[in-house]
């Protein structure tokens, strides 16, 4: 088989990790033995919507469960007057997704998918390929020239956005939807920030990036390119011309190599300058021998929200990861290899501890890049012309102690790595030229939880100026900052952010779409099946509760292998000069199949278990004329005896036991 052929990774072979009974069990354990005592319990089914851990782990807060349920056919697009859907399911899912993230075709390619690390299906066999479905929807939208819906009313307020990277584009998008006038200032020739100047085009194809950016601009967003606020126009002037300001400056400055003799050497460069030169088309040659120092960035904590939640202990690797943090050094090494260079990549961490994804490391090694884990730079060896001829390195032991990285040098292990070019990929810096008033003294900007800059009313910030992190984190910052800016422009006090800041399924919207809106909910009714002042026995805890896997009936789910995207695998020879994209999207059938693997944690997916297993026939299907997603079943409290069986057989954890009336 040719090394450049596209190959489908093998399906999963391991057995399910969840079993109700263990080997050797001979006694059948009745659920009722623990939870059923005659009829005196006052607890009856309560339909509780909660946040699934995929959404809780997504820095941009996408309604992942929502668009997966649309793709799989559980939630359907609203019907028009002619009785037909008002739009295809693909468009409906894309519109749900882009309420949080306007760049799905880009993020579907390069996001390291912390949502997949948090996915509860990891406890069954393997996570849902969320990133691949996002990729599919983004491709569909571009192919079908979908556009965002413009606001019906403009506010007359104007906001200046400094920086056209993911944070700046996100806040511009959200503010434009709210009816505010937005102008983006960027000192580059094109918008995109690190998506364009930090990630090679074979990972973020420029036509895809341009299409998603243009869709945002088509909302009426103005752009001033090659214009740096603080240099080409004063911050004072910006304050006069605009009602609010967003700092999305990014961190496109690289950190210098921490080695003796590295200063002012023409062939010792930073990763950001290297990548920018490549993406600008200015990089013609790299020499025959390149040494890259990095393999991850210690200033960028890529630990996911899911990992911090700590309830997934069977997490599987995602199929394609592209976080800036882990990939900066790999991208440099990859480009150098494709230019025909012999490449060595050094990292202070052992290979298995490097922040780069395992997939990217495997690709790098397959393509002939020599990865040296546990080595630190010591000194740059220079020739008579002052150019570097080698990098002296030595073995080391590195570990994180709290937020600090401590490196212990192993004496006597030094050796020289001959080179024509040395690239430092150890971190990023913010360029505060003309904007020193915002520098917190640590090379970043300090804000409150609404991302308003400390002591600067009307000035907000997001993205890498706060702390270099993922592209999707910057998108999330932009959305949250847009809410704060909107409140500021309205003159209202900034409200408290929810504990879990995600876009969630909205049952009220579905009821309105169905034509059966409820009356005004004006009383704290708990567990009711009759009051007109509440939705039948329903509670939404999405703003404060992430549902763990042990609240689900995992035994419902059968082993189903992931629908994997095709990845082009290269070797040392075929990589040379190959700058084609390596990741293919799923097709419609595969996307639907992958969405069907979603367990819909925290929301009903209409499996009928509770109806079938209720011994009192108390749980029933809602009439079709009144039913919608999240309102598929209800409970007759006159029949319910509180046996808890419906709760125990609910695969999604949507049924909790609460006090009934």
Burial classification of residue 210, based on how many CB atoms lie within 10 Å of its CB (0-12 exposed, 13-18 middle, 19 or more buried)? middle
- Which is nearest to 130 in space by CA: 498, 599, 480? 599
Q: What phi and psi, each to the nearest 5 degrees, are found at residue 366?
A: -65, -30
3-class SS letters over 636-654: CCCCCCCCCHHHHCCCCCC
The lowest-confidence range among 2-11, 38-47, 230-239 is: 2-11
Burial classification of residue 584, based on how many CB atoms lie within 10 Å of its CB (0-12 exposed, 13-18 middle, 19 or more buried)? middle
Higher pLDDT, 331 or 11: 331
Cβ–Cβ under 8 Å, residues 528 and 537: yes
pTM of the model: 0.84
pLDDT tens digits along 188-211: 999 999 898 888 777 889 999 999
| Residue 83, pLDDT score | 86
Host H or E run for residue 305: helix 305-309
- At 519, is the pLDDT very low, low, confident or very high (cuts 50, 70, 90)? low
Query: Is the pLDDT score of 69 beyond 60?
Result: yes
What would the mean pLDDT of 456-466 be, rounded to a whole number?
94
Q: Of 3.30.1220, 3.40.50, 3.30.70, 1.10.3470, which CATH number belongs to 29-50+506-541+602-661?
A: 3.30.70
- At 576, is the pLDDT very low, low, confident or very high (cuts 50, 70, 90)? low
pLDDT tens digits along 595-623: 999 999 999 999 999 999 999 999 999 99
Which tokens sit at 284? 């013609």
| Residue 48, pLDDT score | 93
| Residue 357, pLDDT score | 65
Instruction: Write the DSSP string, 265-284.
Output: -TTEEEHHHHHHHHHHT---
pLDDT tens digits along 386-423: 999 999 999 999 887 776 778 899 999 999 999 989 98
Higher pLDDT, 264 or 100: 100
Specify the 3-state DSSP secondary structure of 300.
coil
Specify the 3-state DSSP secondary structure of 157.
coil
The lowest-confidence range among 519-528, 537-546, 585-594 is: 519-528
In a 13 Å sphere around the CA of 5, the CA atoms on its Cβ side amount to 6
Q: Of 3.30.70, 1.10.1060, 3.30.410, 2.40.50, which CATH number belongs to 54-146+558-597?
A: 1.10.1060
| Residue 19, pLDDT score | 60
What are the domain boundaries of the chain?
29-50+506-541+602-661, 54-146+558-597, 158-251+430-490, 255-429
What would the mean pLDDT of 522-531 be, rounded to a whole number?
61
Q: What phi and psi, each to the nearest 5 degrees, are found at residue 375?
A: -130, 140
pLDDT tens digits along 295-305: 654 323 322 23
| Residue 321, pLDDT score | 45
CA distance 270 to 256: 6
The lowest-confidence range among 286-290, 330-334, 367-371, 422-426 is: 330-334
Instruction: Write the DSSP string, 174-230.
Output: HHHHTT-EEEEEESSSSS-THHHHTS-TTTS-HHHHHHHHHHHHTTT-EEEES--BT
- Which is nearest to 393 in space by CA: 294, 273, 266? 294
- At 40, is the pLDDT very low, low, confident or very high (cuts 50, 70, 90)? very low
CA distance 348 to 127: 31
| Residue 536, pLDDT score | 84
Q: What phi and psi, each to the nearest 5 degrees, are found at residue 659?
A: -70, 130
CA distance 239 to 235: 6
Cβ–Cβ under 8 Å, residues 412 and 419: no
Bin 321: left if φ > 0, else alpha if -120 < ψ < 50, else beta: beta
CA distance 309 to 484: 26
Fold of 158-251+430-490: FAD/NAD(P)-binding domain (3.50.50)
Which tokens sit at 19? 């079993």
Same fold flag, 158-251+430-490 and 255-429: yes
Higher pLDDT, 217 or 440: 217
Which tokens sit at 102? 């306007």
- At 527, is the pLDDT very low, low, confident or very high (cuts 50, 70, 90)? low
Fold of 255-429: FAD/NAD(P)-binding domain (3.50.50)
Which tokens sit at 155? 């506010």
Residue with tokens 């094109």: 190
| Residue 106, pLDDT score | 95
- Which is nearest to 634 in space by CA: 626, 32, 653, 41? 626
Which tokens sit at 127? 């996570």
Mean pLDDT for all residues in the chain:
85
| Residue 443, pLDDT score | 84
Which tokens sit at 617? 């026939």
Higher pLDDT, 140 or 29: 140
Residue 25 neighbours by CB distance under 10 Å: 10
- Which is nearest to 583 in space by CA: 105, 141, 115? 105
Which tokens sit at 352? 């298995």
The lowest-confidence range among 85-99, 216-230, 449-463, 566-580 is: 566-580
CA distance 4 to 574: 7
pLDDT tens digits along 105-156: 999 998 888 899 889 999 999 999 999 999 999 999 999 999 999 999 999 9
| Residue 169, pLDDT score | 98
Alpha helices in 89-156 (DSSP H): 89-97, 104-110, 114-118, 130-143
CA distance 629 to 514: 10
| Residue 39, pLDDT score | 45
CA distance 204 to 383: 38
pLDDT exceeding 70 applies to what percent of the chain? 84
CA dihedral 518, 520, 522, 523 (to 10 degrees): -20
What is the β-pairing status of strands 404-409 and 289-293?
unpaired
CA distance 68 to 128: 10
pLDDT tens digits along 237-271: 999 999 999 999 988 777 888 899 989 898 898 88
């Amino acid at each position: 088989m040719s090394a450049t052929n596209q190959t489908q990774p093998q399906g999963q072979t391991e057995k399910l990790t969840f079993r109700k009974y263990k080997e050797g069990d001979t006694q059948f354990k009745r659920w009722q033995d623990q939870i059923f005592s005659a009829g005196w319990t006052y607890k009856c089914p309560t339909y509780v919507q909660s946040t699934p851990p995929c959404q809780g782990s997504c820095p941009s807060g996408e309604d992942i469960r929502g668009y997966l349920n649309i793709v799989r056919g559980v939630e359907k697009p609203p019907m028009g007057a002619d009785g037909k859907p008002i739009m295809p399911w693909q468009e409906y899912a894309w519109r749900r997704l882009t309420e949080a993230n306007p760049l799905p075709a880009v993020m579907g390619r390069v996001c390291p998918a912390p949502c997949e690390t948090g996915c509860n299906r990891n406890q069954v066999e393997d996570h849902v390929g969320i990133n691949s479905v996002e990729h599919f929807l983004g491709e569909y939208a571009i192919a079908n020239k979908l556009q965002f819906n413009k606001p019906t009313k403009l506010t007359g307020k104007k906001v200046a956005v400094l920086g056209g990277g993911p944070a700046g584009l996100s806040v511009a998008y959200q503010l434009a939807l709210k009816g505010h006038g937005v102008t983006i200032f960027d000192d580059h020739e094109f918008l995109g920030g690190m998506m364009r100047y930090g990630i090679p085009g074979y990972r973020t194809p420029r036509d895809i990036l341009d299409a998603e950016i243009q869709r945002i601009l088509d909302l009426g967003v103005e752009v001033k390119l090659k214009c740096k606020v603080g240099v080409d126009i004063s911050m004072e002037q910006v304050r006069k011309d605009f009602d609010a300001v967003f700092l999305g400056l990014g961190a496109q400055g690289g950190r210098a190599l921490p080695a003796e003799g590295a200063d002012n050497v023409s062939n010792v460069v930073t990763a950001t300058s290297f990548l920018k030169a490549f993406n600008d088309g200015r990089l013609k040659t790299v020499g025959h021998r390149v040494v890259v120092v990095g393999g991850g960035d210690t200033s960028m904590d890529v630990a996911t929200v899911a990992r911090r939640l700590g309830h997934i202990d069977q997490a599987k690797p995602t199929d394609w990861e592209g976080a800036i943090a882990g990939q900066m050094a790999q991208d440099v090494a990859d480009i150098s290899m494709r230019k025909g260079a012999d490449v060595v990549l050094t990292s202070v961490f052992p290979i298995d501890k490097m922040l780069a994804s395992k997939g990217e490391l495997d690709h790098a090694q397959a393509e002939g890049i020599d990865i040296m884990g546990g080595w630190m730079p010591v000194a740059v060896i220079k020739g008579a012309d002052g150019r570097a001829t080698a990098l002296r390195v030595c073995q080391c032991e590195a570990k994180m102690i709290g937020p600090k990285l401590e490196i212990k040098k192993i004496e006597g292990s030094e050796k020289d790595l001959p080179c024509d070019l040395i690239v430092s990929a150890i971190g990023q810096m913010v360029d505060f030229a003309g904007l020193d008033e915002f520098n917190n003294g640590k090379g970043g900007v300090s804000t409150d939880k609404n991302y308003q800059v400390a002591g600067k009313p009307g000035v907000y910030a997001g993205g890498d100026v706060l702390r270099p992190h993922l592209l999707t984190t910057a998108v999330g910052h932009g959305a949250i900052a847009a809410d704060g800016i909107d409140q500021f422009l309205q003159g209202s006090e900034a409200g408290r952010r929810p504990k879990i800041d995600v876009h969630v399924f909205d049952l009220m919207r579905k009821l309105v779409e169905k034509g059966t809106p409820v009356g005004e909910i004006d009383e704290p009714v708990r567990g009711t099946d009759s009051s007109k002042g509440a939705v039948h026995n329903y509670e939404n805890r999405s703003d404060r509760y992430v549902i763990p896997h042990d609240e689900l009936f995992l035994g419902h789910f059968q082993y189903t292998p992931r629908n994997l995207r095709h990845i082009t695998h290269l070797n040392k020879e075929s990589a040379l000069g190959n700058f084609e994209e390596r990741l293919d999207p799923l097709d419609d059938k595969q996307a639907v199949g992958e969405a069907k693997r979603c367990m819909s944690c925290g929301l009903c997916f209409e499996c009928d278990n509770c109806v079938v297993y209720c011994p009192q026939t108390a749980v029933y299907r809602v009439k079709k004329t009144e039913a919608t997603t999240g309102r598929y079943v209800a409970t007759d409290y006159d029949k319910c005896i509180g046996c808890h069986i419906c709760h125990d057989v609910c695969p999604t954890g949507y049924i909790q036991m609460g006090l009934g009336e």
